[in-house]
């Protein structure tokens, strides 16, 4: 394999990782902001409440985007293995 192909694969792998982890991270960020806003409005400063909602949001995002993420990872892995097998 040439250096160009390896660099392209590394670039695609980084983009794949960023796209796969985006849904849970965005869910946690959005939930954290909304719970923080609600806590500021109601003046209830309970850390466990915020954590519980964020964990539930991340779990929900993983359930909803899990199949999509698996398909993307499997497709990428298949392409890489084909490149290695025929190199």
Based on the structure, what is the number of domains in the chain? Answer: 1
DSSP single-letter state for residue 52: H
Are 56 and 3 in contact by the 8 Å Cβ rule? The answer is no
- For the chain, give the number of residues: 87
Predicted TM-score (pTM) of the model is 0.81
Range of the domain at 27: 3-85
What digits encode the pLDDT tens for the residues 20-66? 999 999 999 999 999 999 999 998 888 888 899 999 999 999 999 99
CB 55 within 8 A of CB 35: no
Distance CA 51, CA 37 (A): 14
Q: Where are the alpha helices (DSSP H) in 1-87?
A: 3-42, 47-85
Give the pLDDT of residue 86. 78
């Amino acid at each position: 394999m040439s250096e160009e192909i390896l660099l392209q694969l590394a670039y695609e792998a980084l983009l794949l990782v960023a796209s796969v982890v985006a849904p849970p991270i965005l869910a946690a960020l959005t939930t954290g902001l909304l719970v923080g806003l609600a806590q500021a409005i109601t003046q209830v400063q309970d850390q466990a409440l915020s954590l519980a909602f964020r964990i539930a949001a991340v779990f929900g995002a993983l359930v909803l985007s899990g199949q999509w993420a698996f398909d993307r990872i499997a497709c990428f892995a298949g392409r890489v293995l084909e490149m290695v097998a025929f190199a």
